[in-house]
A and B are shown apart, each in its own frame.
Chain A
Amino acid sequence: MGQITLERVSKSFGHTEVIPPLDLTIEDGEFCVFVGPSGCGKSTLLRLIAGLDDITSGAVLIDGQDASDVPPAKRGLAMVFQSYALYPHMSVRKNIAFPMRMARIPQDEQNRRIEAAAKALNLTDYLDRRPGQLSGGQRQRVAIGRAIVREPSAFLFDEPLSNLDAALRVGMRLEISELHERLRATMIYVTHDQVEAMTMADKIVVLRAGHIEQVGSPLELYRTPRNLFVAGFIGSPKMNLIGGNEAARHDAHTIGIRPEHIDVSEDGCWQGTVGVAEHLGSDTFLHVHGTGFGGTLTVRTTGEVTLAHGDTVRLLPRAGRIHRFDASGLRIV
């Protein structure tokens, strides 16, 4: 079991309120991602759940029990840190065994769980090495192994992939997702990378300056962003935002259209000049200037278009894919 509920939780450092009172429920077995730009309070929120920082007001409930005053050691949660935070003086085996040693689990059972975790994480050959002798990806797997063996009610991940290189990051992302499928345990995952959020989450919590901007499934956030911030943050490349007359024509202050929802077409209503064409092979991103909207429009089109710098294109936004926002940045329904 691992349902986590935040009730009017707030956090201040001195006179600075970094997290104004907020409510949030993470259901048992859910993969929940906290995402937002750096300094948005997502890591702080995770540390409040972990108990590493004390909440200023409100309550943290774990399976309905108030855990606000329970020390981190007794909350039954496991955490994976960005820096891995392995014990450098212990072998991989001892690192993984440490939480079980603290819980006074019998030696036989410890060995059984270590073997199982090592096998699942491809660490069997490295059990007698020290963390210093491992690569970044292996270290992070040890940290995950250390979290698994104690069979926690929830896993907390604090930007676990940020220190890995791009190729490894994709691999570890899949491993963590598979781990979630297998264990069906509650996982809370903090990242600033919206791709990680979109690909891994059951539920995404978008944070800005300690406020929850929107909570929803990846597709909900993609299809119906509640405000301009979420619209701009979720999706890659970013949503095109257009103001002025074009927006007024749609009875809005600002309209948004994703690059993948604009087609290059003879009967397009918008016209512009191609600035840079980024050919990725599978896709091409066109950066189109001179549309009369001010700024550049990004268009995602098929991989093998032959448009190049200086070409004139006509663009057609797909019907029903235009997002409308009012003057305060909120979505117009």
Chain B
Amino acid sequence: MARAVTPRRKALNTALAWAIGLLIFFPILWTILTSFKTEAEAIASPPLFLNFDWTLENYAVVQERSDYMKFLLNSVIIAGGSTLLGIIVAVPAAWSMAFVPSRRTRDILLWMLSTKMLPAVGVLYPIYLLFIRLGLLDSRAGLVVVLMLINLPIIVWMLYTYFREIPGEILEAARMDGAGLREEILYVLTPMAVPGIASTILLNFILAWNEAFWTLNLTAADAAPLTAFIASYSSPEGLFYAKLSAASTMAIAPILILGWFSQKQLVRGLTFGAVK
């Protein structure tokens, strides 16, 4: 029996949801607000909420001191490249696991996911040495490969879940209709899995965009993405909160906007398979 929802209860629920949402959003809001303060106002105690002299000065300084567009381009290339490469590798992998599973498929999936539990710092040294040997240090190509590998388990796992929802008989029908493996994946499986592939791409693009450990450790100047751009404002000669906030705001703005416009896809992607 469905529980009756009184208008009072509904209003209470809405208020509660807003409160929790604001609480979670508060750090980001505070960063954005701080970016419009002077350095003195930024560290003022008690903190100033809206009653300060709004200024764009920090943005001007940040723009002057560093080339935002270069960092942005690097972020786009690294996040986009690693996601694209990951999808190309993961689609056939997920296909074989979903449609021709062997006795070990389950184990392989769990093992793949278990690599995500490994602290990244544990393999920093070997990867750093490899990068020096291969001349990949501070290169976008190197980061594309590393971030692709870092996120590959998640991409494979997500695609596997989507592919499992597609009835195997449809793929068998394609085979009977004369489709080879390439045509089967290209004309039948992929179009049916488009919503799933789209949310996988989206989620992984965001993960790669936000990734800070490897991007900070393996880049210096040429390949540095927006994460390095933010980090460069926590300088040894003292913290400049207002400028750091301005840089942060500029770095998260593109992904925040992307996320806003694709929230439907994202939510579907994250909860997929939860309810059948």
Q: CB within 8 Å of B: which residues of A?
A: 50, 52, 71-74, 77-79, 81, 83, 85-89, 98-99, 102-103, 143, 146, 150, 156
The A contact surface, by secondary structure, is mixed
B residues near A85, Cβ cutoff 8 Å: 167, 169-170, 172-173
A79 with B192: in contact, given A102-B179, A103-B178 (CB under 8 Å)? no
Interface residues of B (CB under 8 A from A): 167, 169-170, 172-180, 183, 187-188, 191-192
In angstroms, Cα B174 to Cα A72, docked, is 10
Bound-complex Cα distance A76 to B180 (A): 13
- Bound CA–CA A256/B149 (angstroms): 70
What are 15 sample pairs from A and B whose C-beta atoms fall under 8 A apart? Answer: A52-B172, A52-B175, A73-B176, A73-B178, A73-B180, A78-B176, A79-B176, A81-B173, A85-B170, A98-B174, A98-B177, A98-B179, A102-B179, A143-B173, A146-B173
Closest to B180 in A: A73
CA distance A157 to B175 in the complex (A): 15
B175 close to A71 (CB less than 8 A): yes
Residues of chain A within 8 A of B178, CB atoms compared = 73-74, 99, 102-103, 150
In angstroms, Cα B232 to Cα A270, docked, is 104
Q: Is the CB of B175 within 8 A of A87?
A: no
Instruction: A77 to B175: give the CA distance in the assembly, Å.
Output: 10
Q: What CA separation (Å) do A182 and B65 show in the bound complex?
A: 82
B176–A87 CB distance below 8 A: no
Additional pairs, 17, CB under 8 Å, beyond known A74-B178, A85-B172, A150-B177: A52-B172, A72-B175, A72-B176, A73-B175, A73-B176, A73-B180, A78-B177, A79-B173, A81-B172, A85-B167, A87-B188, A89-B192, A98-B179, A102-B177, A102-B178, A146-B177, A156-B176
Q: A residues within 8 A CB of B191?
A: 89
Q: CB distance B170 to A87 under 8 Å?
A: yes
Q: Which residues of B contact A78 (CB under 8 A)?
A: 176-177
Taking a contact as CB atoms closer than 8 A, the residue among B167, B172, B183 that contacts A102 in the complex is B183
A50 B177 Cβ-Cβ under 8 A: no
| Chain A residue contacts of B170, Cβ below 8 A | 85-88
How long is the Cα–Cα vector from A72 to B170 in the complex, in angstroms? Answer: 14
When C-beta atoms are compared, the residue in chain B nearest to A77 turns out to be B176
Residues of B within 8 A of A88 (CB): 170, 192
CA of A214 to CA of B172, assembled, Å: 30
Complex: how many Å from CA A191 to CA B195? 36
| B195: min CB distance to chain A, Å | 11
Collect the chain A residues with CB atoms within 8 Å of residue B176's CB.
50, 52, 72-73, 77-79, 156
Distance A50 CA – B177 CA, assembled complex (angstroms): 11
